[in-house]
Amino acid sequence: MTKQMHKPAPAFTKGWKQYLFKSLLGLLLIGGKTVAAQDRTLTLDEAIKLGLENSKTLKYSQSKIDRAVSQYNQAKDLALPTGSVSYMYSRAQIPANTLNLGPSSFSLPKSANANLGIVSIAEPIFAGGKFKYAKESTDLLVQVARLDVDNDKDQITYGIISAYYNLYKVLQNKKVVEQNIATVDQQIKQAQRFFEQGIVTKNDVLRFQLQRSDIELNGIELESNRKIINYNLDILLGLPETTQIQVDQVNTTDHPLLPLTNYLDSAYTNRQELKQSDLRTRVAETNIKNTRADRLPTLAATVGAYYVNTSLVPIPKTGNFITPITAGLALSWNFGSLWSNKNRESEARIERDQTVINKGIITDNLKNEVNQNYQNYLSALNRVNLLQTSITQATENNRLQESRYKSSIASATDRADAQTLLYQAQINLELAKADAGLAYYNLLKSTGKINK
């Protein structure tokens, strides 16, 4: 009896182990799929936030601000007191140490030691305003660097929006493809029934099957484009490269169109390039003042302390050292700068004039850019309206051809052509809507308000 009770145990244990192994393997496979690819739905605002937070370009631009701030602090340091300390020991050997001066003579020791220590501090009092101008110039350059970051931020934001809309276009087109495949499948089934009833020929059935193959080819190309755009967007947003991004609904044509002058005025107020041009003009004017300051004298207060020890041992002993302390004013003037700085001042004025001219060039380019983007957005809206009309016409045509086909009045070719026209019109409308939305953001970017 005991033997009979223990006989099934090995088989039971083996079966349990196999079951446990298969269960663990299944969990690993499921977990592997989760790690390999994960879906994430993002709104446009979330995508922009992620992209800006993970942008290496913005981090590099921020380092430029840090450098400009460091240069500004260095300019402030120029007005601080300067100090120095030095110590020197020397020994003199004097072989001929007697000097005859007629009836009298003067003798020196055969050798002498000298320890000399100096501590000095100088505080600039007046330097022609050079410290002030250096601080002003570097402060303006810090502001220019900050505007560079804002400009880079606008460019990065538009790049994210563009990639987001491109993914949206592909996903919308894939939906259209799936809808049309489902519709064509119904047509194939219907044509197959008609063929079995002798109403249509085999060629009519093949015509619908060929139409389905064409749609499938388009779907394969769209999927390839989706993978490329999705991967690029993962990199741009700092997401894992296996993340499959799902796009939330976006606004395409809901933005009101204002008069062109409104967008131009906004660009004059908000574009970073114009603000930078004004700042560079101020930097150039400050450089002119700084160059003129070289003509002026400089004045500084000085304090010095000396330690003179004539013994061999540097440690002070009574009667072997003196410690004079001095204080005074130091005035200096390089009057040669009165005639040597003329060309430097001329060059500084030319640089200032160039910044003014460059602002005019930037303004003209800005006008052209805003107007072009305005016209592109207007054209995109008109295209959407026209394609919506085309959808209505193509839908009605498809309905009529479907009715005629069922009544054996129209051929399978006419029916398939009507279906293809509707399918193409649907794709064109989705593309046009996304292009209109992207054109609006491009217009916003040209006015400097894409992040406002």
CATH assignment at residue 65: 1.20.1600.10
Residues 6+ apart with CB under 8 A from 9: none
Express each pLDDT in 169-211 by its tens digit.
898 888 888 888 888 888 888 888 888 888 778 887 888 888 8
pLDDT above 70 covers a percentage of the chain that reads 91
Residues 291 and 368 in one domain: yes
Residues 136 and 249 in one domain: yes
Question: Which of 332, 355, 379 is where one domain is finished?
Answer: 332
Q: What are phi and psi of 311, to 5 degrees?
A: -95, 170
- The β-bridge relationship of strands 38-42 and 243-247 is parallel
More confident residue, 201 or 7: 201
Tokens 């039971």 sit at which residue? 12
Q: What are phi and psi of 341, to 5 degrees?
A: -95, 0
In a domain, 226, yes or no: yes
Residues 327 and 345 in one domain: no
Residues 51 and 134 in one domain: yes
Q: Return d(Cα 252, Cα 381) in angstroms, integer.
A: 9
Helices assigned H by DSSP within 294-341:
337-340
Long-range contacts of 18-23 (CB under 8 A, 24+ apart): none
Tell me the pLDDT band of 25, cut-offs 50, 70 and 90. very low
In a domain, 33, yes or no: no
Domains: count for the chain: 2
- Among residues 357, 368, 353, the alpha carbon closest in space to that of 271 is found at 368
In a domain, 1, yes or no: no
Strand partners, 303: 121, 327
Residues 269 and 289 in one domain: yes
Query: What pLDDT sits at residue 32?
Result: 44
12-21, 290-299, 416-425: least confidently modelled range = 12-21
Got the DSSP string for 95-144?
SS-EEEETTEEEE--SEEEEEEEEEEEEEEEESTTHHHHHHHHHHHHHHH
Question: Which of 285, 312, 332 is where one domain is finished?
Answer: 332
Residues 269 and 226 in one domain: yes
In a domain, 15, yes or no: no
More confident residue, 416 or 257: 257
Find the domain containing 304 and state its range: 84-93+111-126+298-332
Asked if residue 318 has pLDDT above 60, the reply is yes
Residues 360 and 377 in one domain: yes
Helices assigned H by DSSP within 238-296:
260-270, 272-293
Q: Return d(Cα 66, Cα 70) in angstroms, integer.
A: 6
Residues 122 and 238 in one domain: no
Contact 160, 48 (CB under 8 A): yes
The two three-digit tokens of residue 64, written as one number: 């430029």
Question: Does residue 246 sit in helix, strand or coil?
Answer: strand
In a domain, 3, yes or no: no
Residues 405 and 308 in one domain: no
Residues 414 and 323 in one domain: no
Tell me the pLDDT band of 274, cut-offs 50, 70 and 90. very high
Contact 329, 302 (CB under 8 A): yes
- The β-bridge relationship of strands 104-107 and 243-247 is unpaired
Residues 141 and 201 in one domain: yes
In a domain, 99, yes or no: no
**DSSP 8-state secondary structure symbol assigned to residue 249:** P
Residues 404 and 315 in one domain: no
Q: Return d(Cα 183, Cα 178) in angstroms, integer.
A: 9
Q: Return d(Cα 241, Cα 235) in angstroms, integer.
A: 7
The two three-digit tokens of residue 218, written as one number: 């388009």
Torsion of CA 59, 65, 68, 69, to 10 degrees: -120
Residues 6+ apart with CB under 8 A from 176: 423, 426, 427, 430
Residues 6+ apart with CB under 8 A from 88: 114, 115, 116, 117
In a domain, 16, yes or no: no
Tell me the pLDDT band of 1, cut-offs 50, 70 and 90. very low
In a domain, 11, yes or no: no
Question: Which of 276, 306, 332 is where one domain is finished?
Answer: 332
This prediction has a pTM of 0.74
